[in-house]
Amino acid sequence: MTAAALDAHEAHDDHGPARGIKRWLFTTNHKDIGTMYLVLSLTMFFIGGTMALVIRSELMAPGLQFVHPEFFNSMTTMHALVMVFGAVMPAFVGLANWMIPMMIGAPDMALPRMNNWSFWILPVAFGILISTLFMPGGGPASGWTMYPPLVLQTGNAFPFLIFSIHLMGLSSIMGAINIIVTILNMRAPEMWLLKMPMFVWTWLITAYLLIAVMPVLAGAVTMLLTDQFFGTSFFLAAGGGDPVMFQHIFWFFGHPEVYIMILPAFGVVSEIIPTFSRKPLFGHDSMVYAASCIAFLSFIVWAHHMFTVGMPLSGQLFFMFATMLIAVPTGVKIFNWVATMWRGSMTFETPMLFSLAFVFLFTIGGFSGLMLAVVPSDIQYHDSYFVVAHFHYVLVPGSVFALFAAAYYWLPKWTGFMYNEAAGKLHFWLSAVFVNVTFFPMHFLGLAGMPRRIPDYSTQFADFNWIASVGAIGFGLSQLIFLYVLLTAKKGAKATDRVWEAPRGLEWTVPSPAPYHTFATPPKLRVAQEAFE
Partner 1 sequence: MSRGVTELSAATHDLHMMVFWWCVAIGVVVFGVMIFSLLKHRKSAGAKPASFSHSTAAEVIWTAIPVVILLLMAVPAAETLIRIEDSRDPDMSVIVTAYQWKWHYKYQDEGVEFYSSLALPSIEARSKQSGIDPFSVDNYLLDVDRPLVVPKGKKVRLLLTSNDVVHSWWVPQLAIKKDAIPGVVNEAWFRATETGTYRGQCAELCGKDHGYMPIVVEVVEPDTYQAWIQTQTDDKARLARVEN
Window 415 to 454, contacts with partner 1 (CB under 8 A): 447-449, 451-454
Rounded to an integer, what distance in angstroms lies between the CA atom of residue 109 and that of residue 98?
Answer: 9
Question: Given the rule CB under 8 A, which of 14-22, 42-50, 144-152, 191-199 is the region that contacts partner 1?
Answer: 144-152
Cα–Cα nearest to 51, from 67, 64, 65 = 67
Rounded to an integer, what distance in angstroms lies between the CA atom of residue 228 and that of residue 244?
Answer: 17
Residue from the set 282, 401, 464, 482 that interacts with partner 1 by CB under 8 A = 282
Rounded to an integer, what distance in angstroms lies between the CA atom of residue 18 and that of residue 20?
Answer: 7
Sequence-distant (6+) residues with CB within 8 A of 207 are 175, 176, 177, 179, 180, 183
**355 in active site:** no
Give the residue with the Cβ less far from partner 1, 328 or 493: 328
Q: Quick one: DSSP state of residue 508? A: G
Q: What does the buried/exposed string (b/e) look like for 263-285 if buried means 16 or more CB atoms within 10 Å of the residue's CB?
A: bbbbbbbbbbbbbbbebebbbbe
Residue from the set 317, 422, 480, 483 that interacts with partner 1 by CB under 8 A = 317
448 by Cβ neighbours in 10 Å (0-12 / 13-18 / 19+) ranks as middle
Report if residue 201 touches partner 1, rule: CB under 8 A: no
CB 236 within 8 A of CB 227: yes
Print the binding letters for residues 8-47 with partner 1: x by CB under 8 A, - otherwise.
----------------------------------------
Report if residue 363 touches partner 1, rule: CB under 8 A: yes
Give the residue with the Cβ less far from partner 1, 124 or 370: 370
Q: Which of 452, 453, 498, 517 is catalytic?
A: 452
Strand, coil or helix: what is 311? coil
Report if residue 339 touches partner 1, rule: CB under 8 A: yes
134 by Cβ neighbours in 10 Å (0-12 / 13-18 / 19+) ranks as exposed
Residue from the set 43, 135, 177, 242 that interacts with partner 1 by CB under 8 A = 242
Give the residue with the Cβ less far from partner 1, 149 or 215: 149
Cα–Cα nearest to 518, from 114, 97, 206, 119 = 97
Report if residue 334 touches partner 1, rule: CB under 8 A: yes
Taking the complex as a whole, the smallest distance from the CB of residue 445 to partner 1 amounts, in Å, to 12
Report if residue 237 touches partner 1, rule: CB under 8 A: yes
**530 in active site:** no
Report if residue 383 touches partner 1, rule: CB under 8 A: yes
Q: Which of 98, 259, 385, 419 is catalytic?
A: 259
CB 121 within 8 A of CB 167: yes
Report if residue 147 touches partner 1, rule: CB under 8 A: yes
Give the residue with the Cβ less far from partner 1, 221 or 481: 221
Give the residue with the Cβ less far from partner 1, 120 or 335: 335
CB 197 within 8 A of CB 131: no
Q: Which of 31, 305, 390, 504 is catalytic?
A: 305
- List binders of partner 1 among 290-309 (CB under 8 A): 308-309
Report if residue 79 touches partner 1, rule: CB under 8 A: no
**79 in active site:** yes
Residue from the set 22, 65, 490, 532 that interacts with partner 1 by CB under 8 A = 65
Report if residue 181 touches partner 1, rule: CB under 8 A: no
**172 in active site:** yes
Question: Given the rule CB under 8 A, which of 90-98, 205-213, 261-269, 368-376 is the region that contacts partner 1?
Answer: 368-376
- Distance in Å from the first CA to the final CA of the chain: 45
Cα–Cα nearest to 434, from 56, 2, 17, 73 = 56
Strand, coil or helix: what is 93? helix
Q: Which residues are catalytic?
A: 79, 108, 144, 171-172, 255, 257, 259, 270, 304-305, 330, 333, 452
